[in-house]
Amino acid sequence: MGAPVRGALVFFFLLLAGAAAETAPEEPALASATVGGIDGVGTGTSAGAGAGTGADAGVGAGGGGINSNSVLVALLDSHYTELAELVEKALLLQTLEDAVGKHNVTIFAPRNEALERGLDPEFKRFLLEPRNLKSLQSLLLFHVLPARLPSESWPAASHPTLSGEEVELAAADDGGMRVAHATVTRPDAVLRPDGVIHGIERLLVPRSVQEDFNRRRSLADISAVLPTGAPDVDPRTHRLKKPAPPVPPGAPPVLPIWDAMAPGPSIAPAPAPGPGSGKHHFDGHSQVKDFIQTLLLYGGYNELADILVNLTSLATEMGRLVSEGYVLTVLAPNDEALTRLTTDQLSEPGSPENILYYHMIPEYQTEESMYNAVRRFGKVRYDTLRLPHKVVAREADGSVKFGQGEGSAYLFDPDIYTDGRISVQGIDAVLYPPDGSNTAPAAAPVRRAPAVTGTSKSKLRRGKLLEATCQMAGILGQRSRFTSCQ
């Protein structure tokens, strides 16, 4: 029995030796993976060793998302909140994600104070207008370089930016760093494997954005100059008529808004105001254009924009009213509400205008002011441009509800556009004025006196004093002389 046992043991040891020989080549494979990680292929070792700066970006791009250790995530979480907010407003998050996925980046981040108080108010207003979105994007991309440039490898040369223009990098006299005309106040403020953020003292403005701003400002100055008419001469005295007192800018107009509106759609539009009218302190047409463009960018209000511009001439009418100093609040039905309108409702002459006139309030109201009013008074009636109808607002479910019964609408997209002259509040249904038959008071029943015929005469009733007088006249034989006693 000893020989078989020894043979079995020898066979078992041979199997163990074969298994060890098969698993032995795995050790060089692990070593090669580690070396590959150092060269920029792996992720764990490269991150731990601090080498292979493009590794994490490559993994983030290949995985279809941004790495949590990315410089873009660090920018959004940093104290450069003003720059991060501008990036979101300019719709550049996806563009920067694609850039970080392709190559490393260097971001120049201005201080919050430089964007809040150190920026020209007119230039800041220009950047935040919806029609100047391209200029805002070019300005922000001018602050991003498609390369990782930490302070120790700062080049003294021009470098291309993501906007397509070049920016000048140089060393300051005191040994610091400069980018264009701005000083780098916080070099290497944020360091990440796929990029670096340098803090700078002020905003960088590329030449193209500066030219757009100057061109827009010069056009605004030209369009603001109105021709003046000839002086009026009084034919009786042959003297110049005294001009009307000037209206201070921003003052409410003298005429009610209904008197300033154009006639109905069946009549020709109202004539344009003559030269030297003393009005037009506001560029109403540009404000209406911005408000319509905001509706398109906001989404869900394309039908309303189409009705204002193409189906009716209300956009032009609104621009003229705002130019003359009037203010408007538009209760804007969304696309889902307007698509429920039938063809018959829109095909009648003047129907689209009448529908939208009922959604325009000749006051400047925001969501906060409306909600405070209905909270305080319970029910508020607002005048509309469709006289004499008014729209009723009340509080419901923590919001503002317009209208009554089934034809009511909720305010669910507050402050879509507010510029001090035009306020747009989104509602979820189309409002209609109450029917005249429902609002007219019930007529009091008319009581008619019964007709008196020859056969049925009501006997007149005499008073007690007259009856006593007639009896006394009868005693004296004079009753026949009094007709009342007959």
- Greatest Cα pair distance, the chain, in angstroms, is 178
Q: What is the pLDDT of residue 273?
A: 46
Name the pLDDT band for 440 (thresholds 50, 70, 90): very low
| Percent of the chain residues past pLDDT 70, beyond the cut | 65
Q: What is the pLDDT of residue 44?
A: 36
Over 60: is that where the pLDDT of 42 sits?
A: no
User: Where in the chain are all domains bearing CATH 2.30.180.10?
Assistant: 52-216, 258-266+279-436
Q: Would you say the pTM of this structure is higher than 0.85?
A: no
Over 70: is that where the pLDDT of 30 sits?
A: no
Name the pLDDT band for 49 (thresholds 50, 70, 90): very low
Q: If residue 273 lies in a helix (H) or strand (E), which one and from where to where?
A: none
Sheet of strand 158-160: strand arrangement: 144-145, 105-110, 195-200, 182-192, 177-179, 166-171, 158-160
Give per-residue pLDDT as tens, 307-338: 888 888 888 888 888 888 889 999 999 999 99
Distance CA(283)–CA(222), nearest Å, equals: 12
Of the listed ranges 65-79, 95-109, 153-167, 372-386, the least confidently predicted one is 65-79
Choose between 415 and 482: higher pLDDT.
415
Q: If residue 219 lies in a helix (H) or strand (E), which one and from where to where?
A: helix 207-224
What is the mean predicted confidence (pLDDT) over 444-464?
46
Over 60: is that where the pLDDT of 158 sits?
A: yes
* Residue 353 and residue 263 in contact, taking contact as beta carbons nearer than 8 Å: no
Give per-residue pLDDT as tens, 225-283: 455 556 666 666 666 667 666 666 656 666 676 666 655 444 444 444 444 444 445 68
Over 90: is that where the pLDDT of 218 sits?
A: no
Name the pLDDT band for 130 (thresholds 50, 70, 90): confident
Q: What is the mean pLDDT of the chain?
A: 75
What is the mean predicted confidence (pLDDT) over 35-50?
35
CATH 3.40.50.300 at 52-216, yes or no:
no
Q: What is the pLDDT of residue 19?
A: 52
- For residue 194, the number of C-alpha atoms closer than 13 Å in the C-beta half-sphere is 27
Q: What is the pLDDT of residue 8?
A: 57
Fold exhibited by the domain 258-266+279-436: FAS1 domain (2.30.180)
Give per-residue pLDDT as tens, 351-397: 888 899 999 999 999 999 999 989 988 899 999 998 889 999 999 88
Q: What is the pLDDT of residue 280?
A: 44
CA distances from 398 to 346, 368, 411, 418 (A): 33, 12, 10, 22
